[in-house]
Amino acid sequence: MNWQDRVVIDPAILVGKPVVRGSRLAVEFIVDLLAQGWSQEDILRNYPGLTHEDIAACLAYASSLLKAEKVYPL
């Protein structure tokens, strides 16, 4: 999956936070819901404009950021 197809970063939307295309739902918000124990079905029920692919794109975006993170020992 190519997260760039579903996640956009636009300074005019939520001050440039990454959001699901066509919405004002931040990737951070979706990942936080999952971290709080919400299932994908819970999210889709409460936010009917989202799809399973949108949620997967949010996770793929988060994964790509973590892979790019560099950690240096002190």
Q: Give 64's contacts (C-beta < 8 A, 6+ positions apart).
A: 3
Contact (CB, 8 A) for 27 and 61: yes
Query: What are the pLDDT digits (tens) for 16-46?
Result: 999 999 999 999 999 999 999 999 999 999 9
Rounded Cα–Cα distance for residues 26 and 9 (Å)? 10
Question: In this predicted structure, what is the pLDDT of residue 74?
Answer: 86
Q: Return the CATH architecture of domain 3-66.
A: Orthogonal Bundle (1.10)
Residue boundaries of the structural domains of the chain: 3-66
Q: Which residues pair with 26 in a beta bridge?
A: 19
Q: Specify the pTM.
A: 0.90
Rounded Cα–Cα distance for residues 40 and 55 (Å)? 7
